[in-house]
A and B are shown apart, each in its own frame.
Chain A
Amino acid sequence: MGDYSKKRFLVVDDQPMAREALRSIALTVGAFAVEFASSYQDALYRIRNNVPDIILSDYMLGDGRSGQQLLEELRRFNMLPDETIFMMVTGEQAYEQVVSAVELVPDDYIIKPFSPDKLVLRLDRITAKKNFFAGFYREKRKQDFAAAIAFLQAQHDTEAGRPYRFEILRQQAETQLAIGDLKAAEATYRNILDKYEFPWARAGMARTMHRQSRLVEARQEIERVVASTPHFFDAADLKATICMAQGEHAEAQRVLDEVAKRTPRNYLRKRLLAEAATLNGDTETARAAMTDVITNDTMPGAIAPEDRLALARSHINSGDNISAEKILLSLRDGEVRSLNLPEQASYAALMALASPERGTSRFSGLRPAMLASKLTPTAQMDIVRAALSVKDHKLADLHTDYLMSSLDAKKVFSNIRAQYALHGREQDFRTIQKEVALRRIQQEAAAQSASTMIDF
């Protein structure tokens, strides 16, 4: 039995009686100190200030929040060290279904009622596992991912590794995905799926395919996951992202609308919904979603400049230039100066659209930089739109060409075409499209003949 007399526990539960019960159990197992958090926000605040050794969080936290969401938020802001134990406490059998499906899981969950002895048994087990993975955590923290993966591979066939083989493969796949070794991650997920059809592994495989721009395959994989595990909301997010890449914006929005209703306080999902709605031309949904994000995603640092740019964009799409201008002006000069180039370009383009008299000169000032760089798809779309409105054909056509030649072509096609139509330049858009297509055919022919030559 482990020694918990030096451990600091944090008990998270919105019900005072249940909180007291968890505290008394933690004290019975010998906890050195037990802190309380009575809500989701309170828990985030306390963990941010001082990370406990062991978190016991109830699954139902009231106010539309869950322990699962707390876990996701802690990981999102990197507030949970690998060594900290996160244990979900639940009276719901339903949580098992969540744990068996999703990618992001707690160290363990325990179903109420349970005795102090049972909690100790579970904590001992997690501690043993964390000890086993200690070398992996260490390399990961040093950002030496090659060493981290090598550690896992070396442990896979050891006797001590036998109980943890699935976990070893899972950590390996996630690390490979995180460092962008997509082929290796895909192979690892396949290896897991050969053993059992875990939804999280199937979703991981879809993720690797999506990032390799193998959209049709990725879509097939993720559809399987969504159909079999409707409560796996991140899988729905991934499906929507793939749909957007395929240019199926209506389907993307439909999927996100549905899951966002069931998780009203997940603001990453709300951002994704805003993106899908924008692409789908549903400006009001986009505007409402971004307003909700900016008002309610209250974690310090959660609202990035790109969120305000997104809200301004959605105001412009709704024809509300005054609100758009107000949002853009709420970014202070210093903040604007510290934006990266794509964000500066978006800022200038959106300002030029919202308020031509204020924004056009800034937009022209950035013109040389915008002509010289490729930037991000979002920034490029903003540039095309603003350039069309100030009749800067060269700038608009350049970025349209870039976009239509990129992997994002399907995603942005209908919106760009609509912008050209708005300015009576459909024919020019078609010409760009043809040029891009012709270039692609030539490139493919060249690649073909090169490979033929190698064959001989």
Chain B
Amino acid sequence: MNNLLDILASGIHDAKNQLFLAESLIAATEAKHGLSLSEARYAIEAASDRLSRALAAYQITRHDATPAITPVILEDLCDEVMLAQKLHLASREVTLTVDCQVFDALPLDRDLVTDMLNNAVQNAGRYARSMVKMSVTAEDQWLCLVVEDDGPGYPSLPPEYGIGLMVADRLAALHVQHGRKGSLTLSNKSALGGARFELRLP
């Protein structure tokens, strides 16, 4: 333990282990009694995501963060966001749809991109009237990840950045290939009439 980053990382690691115990106990209880406690599990995973995001935010403000790039299958990534968010959104009567048009594996930081999309879908779900749409397309060597909703849109542009958006913005810029850099654009140009989150990665 020689620096603050190690201390924070270790504390967060321990906390996530505890959260894992809690989630597995809930899952066992669900299986035993035929219950669904998905909102409780959702809260646990959301808490864990916040911890990870706070650590990521600390890392990129204080250190040179390097993304961990592996070949990622976008459909799989979409399935994971769907799995993480669908039941929670359904409990608020919001439908999540996914349209993935990219079939090749692409070099990405899987966990960071998943976290950014989870965060975007979570935010969209908070303001959506009935619908959140996530789409993945490829345009001239760019990967476009878009999350849009049918809510009232951002009250002002650019919106105020919370930790999640700050991390997304910085991490988009960390994806660099052939001299091109990722970017994050927030607007009210959603085809559904609300806010639009667009992450473009090279």
Interface residues of A (CB under 8 A from B): 15, 17-18, 20-22, 24-25, 27-28, 91-94, 96-97, 99-101, 111-118, 121, 125, 162-167, 195-196, 198
Is residue B4 within 8 Å, beta carbon to beta carbon, of the partner chain? no
User: Chain B, 54-90, contact with A by CB distance < 8 Å: what is the 0/1 string?
Assistant: 0110000000001011110101100110011000000
Answer whether A112 and B17 are a contact pair too, CB < 8 Å, given A97-B66, A121-B79.
yes
Most buried by A among B24, B31, B80: B24
CB-CB under 8 A for A91 and B68, given A113-B44, A121-B83, A164-B105 = no
A111 pairs with B111, CB closer than 8 A: yes
Q: Give the residue name and chain of the A residue nearest to B12 (CB).
A: A91
A93, B56: Cβ atoms closer than 8 Å: yes
**A113 — which chain B residues lie within 8 A by C-beta?**
16, 19-20, 22-24, 44-45, 48
* B143 / chain A contacts, CB cutoff of 8 Å: none
CA distance A91 to B20 in the complex (A): 9
Q: Are A91 and B13 in contact (CB under 8 A)?
A: yes
Once the chains bind, are B107 and A21 in contact (CB under 8 Å)? no
CB distance from B38 to the nearest CB of A (A): 8
Q: Which of B17, B66, B84, B177 contacts A18 (CB 8 A)?
A: B17
CB distance from B10 to the nearest CB of A (A): 9
A-B contacts at CB below 8 angstroms, number: 109
- CB atoms of A25 and B24 under 8 A apart: yes
Task: Say how far A24's CB is from chain B's closest CB, in angstroms.
Answer: 4
> Is A115 in contact with B13, judged by CB distance below 8 angstroms?
no
Q: Do A166 and B22 have beta carbons less than 8 Å apart?
A: no
**Distance between A451 CB and nearest chain B CB, rounded to angstroms:** 40
State whether A96 touches B111 (Cβ < 8 A). Answer: yes
Q: Is there an interface contact between B70 and A100, defined as CB atoms closer than 8 Å?
A: yes
Whether B28 sits at the interface, judged by CB under 8 Å, is: yes
- Chain B residues in 8 Å Cβ range of A99: 68, 70
**Pair A163/B23 contact, Cβ less than 8 Å:** no
- Residues of A close to B52: CB separation below 8 A: 93, 111
In the complex with contacts A28-B27, A165-B105, A112-B20 CB distance below 8 A: yes
Contact B109 A96 (CB under 8 A): yes
Shortest distance from the beta carbon of A65 to any chain B beta carbon, whole Å: 17
With A114-B23, A162-B105 given, name 12 new contacts (CB 8 A).
A17-B21, A18-B20, A21-B24, A27-B31, A93-B55, A99-B70, A113-B20, A113-B23, A113-B45, A115-B27, A121-B79, A163-B103
> What are 26 A-B pairs at a CB distance below 8 A?
A18-B21, A21-B20, A21-B24, A24-B25, A24-B27, A24-B28, A25-B24, A91-B14, A91-B17, A94-B9, A96-B110, A99-B70, A100-B109, A111-B16, A112-B16, A112-B20, A113-B19, A113-B22, A113-B44, A115-B23, A116-B31, A125-B73, A125-B76, A162-B105, A163-B105, A165-B105
- A115 lies within 8 A of B41 (CB): yes
CB of A25 within 8 A of CB of B27, answer yes
- For the residues of B in contact with A, the DSSP-based class is helix
Chain B's interface size range is: 35 or more
- Chain B: CB-nearest residue to A229: B66
A-B pairs with lowest CB-CB distance, top 4: A21-B24, A96-B68, A113-B20, A100-B68
Q: List A contacts of B13 (CB < 8 A).
A: 91-92
Tell me which residues across on chain A come within 8 A of B17, comparing CB atoms.
15, 18, 91, 112
- Closest chain-B Cβ to A412's Cβ sits at a distance in Å of 39
Give chain A nearest CB distance to B116 CB in angstroms. Answer: 14
Q: How far is the CB of A435 from chain B (nearest CB, A)?
A: 52
Q: Is B104 an interface residue (CB 8 A)?
A: yes
Are B69 and A100 touching (Cβ within 8 A)?
A: yes
Q: How far is the CB of A43 from chain B (nearest CB, A)?
A: 19
CA gap between A18 and B56 in the complex, in Å: 25
Residues of chain B within 8 A of A195, CB atoms compared:
107
CA distance A112 to B55 in the complex (A): 15
Could you say which of A28, A96, A101, A162 contacts B31, with CB atoms under 8 Å apart?
A: A28
- Contact check: which of B19, B27, B70 meets A116 at CB < 8 Å? B27
B-chain residues with CB within 8 Å of residue A125 when the two chains form the complex: 73, 76
CA distance A177 to B84 in the complex (A): 41
Complex Cα gap A218–B182 (Å): 32
Complex alpha-carbon distance, A117 and B177, angstroms = 34
Q: Which of B69, B80, B104, B111 is in CB contact (< 8 Å) with A163? A: B104
CA distance A165 to B72 in the complex (A): 11
Which one of A21, A112, A166, A196 lies within 8 Å of B177 (CB-CB)?
A: A196
The residues of B that contact A91 with a CB separation of less than 8 Å are 13-14, 16-17, 20
Judge whether B71 and A22 touch: CB under 8 Å: no
Minimum CB–CB distance from A166 to chain B (whole Å) comes to 4
Among residues 94 to 112 in chain B, which have CB atoms less than 8 Å away from a CB atom of chain A? 103-105, 107, 109-111
For B80, what are the chain A residues with a Cβ–Cβ distance below 8 Å? Answer: 118, 121
Chain A residues in 8 Å Cβ range of B83: 115, 117-118, 121
Min Cβ gap B201→A in Å is 12
Q: How far is the CB of B176 from chain A (nearest CB, A)?
A: 10
Contact (Cβ within 8 A) A112 B76: no
